[in-house]
C-alpha cells in the first residue's frame, strides 16, 4: 500500500473565508500515484474547517450568515474562551459545526465525488498562516 502526505498553507485576507481546494487535492492524488484508495483532508487548526459542498456563491454567503447567527463574533465578552486574552471563541464553535475533515474515495486516480461536490477550506479566524493536511493511502 502507498502512503502520501502533503500540506497546503493559507493566509486569508479576511477573518472568514471559504476556499475551493478541490484542484489542489486532486493534484496531490496525481502526485501520490494512488489509483484506488482514500484521501483524507483535514484542517490542522482548531479555528478552521474542511468540508464538502457546492461551489455556489450564494450558498457560501448563506453559510457565513448562518454561522454568524449561530456564534456571533461580537461581543467577544460572551465567550469564556476569550477570557484567555483571545477573541476567537466564535471561531472554535463555527469549526465544530462545519467539521474538521473529509474523506473522499479515489477511483481510477480521481476523487470520486457526487454531483456538484467540491472540497473547501473554511477559515473562521483568518489573517494568519494556517495549514491543511492531505493524507492519501491506497494502491
- Grid cell 484506488 is found at 36
Q: What is the pTM of this model?
A: 0.96
pLDDT band for position 91 (cuts 50, 70, 90): very high
- For the beta sheet containing 118-123, the strands, ordered from the edge strand earlier in sequence to the opposite edge, are 17-20, 118-123, 48-53
Q: Encode pLDDT of 2-61 as tens digits.
A: 999 999 999 999 999 999 999 999 999 999 999 999 999 999 999 999 999 999 999 999
Q: Encode pLDDT of 116-126 as tens digits.
A: 999 999 999 99
Closest CA to 69 of 101, 94, 39: 94
For residue 33, the domain's CATH number is 2.60.120.460
pLDDT band for position 77 (cuts 50, 70, 90): very high
**22 is written with which cell numbers?**
478541490
Dihedral, 46, 48, 52, 58 alpha carbons, nearest 10: 140
Which pLDDT belongs to residue 57? 96
**51 is written with which cell numbers?**
468540508
Structural domains of the chain, count: 1
Which pLDDT belongs to residue 53? 98
Domain containing 9 equals 2-138
Question: What is the C-alpha R_g of the chain?
Answer: 16
Amino acid at each position: 500500500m502507498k502512503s502520501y502526505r502533503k500540506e497546503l498553507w493559507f493566509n486569508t485576507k479576511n477573518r472568514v473565508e471559504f476556499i475551493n481546494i478541490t484542484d489542489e487535492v486532486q493534484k496531490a492524488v496525481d502526485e501520490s500515484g494512488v489509483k484506488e484508495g482514500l484521501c483524507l483532508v483535514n484542517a490542522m487548526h482548531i479555528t478552521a474547517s474542511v468540508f464538502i459542498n457546492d461551489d455556489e456563491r450564494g450558498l457560501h454567503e448563506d453559510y457565513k450568515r448562518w454561522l454568524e447567527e449561530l456564534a456571533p463574533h461580537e461581543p467577544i465578552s460572551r465567550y469564556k474562551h476569550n477570557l484567555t486574552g483571545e477573541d476567537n471563541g466564535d471561531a472554535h464553535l463555527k469549526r465544530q459545526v462545519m467539521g474538521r475533515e473529509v474523506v473522499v474515495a479515489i477511483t481510477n486516480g480521481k476523487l470520486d465525488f457526487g454531483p456538484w461536490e467540491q472540497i473547501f477550506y473554511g477559515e473562521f479566524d483568518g489573517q494568519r498562516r494556517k495549514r491543511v493536511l492531505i493524507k492519501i493511502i491506497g494502491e
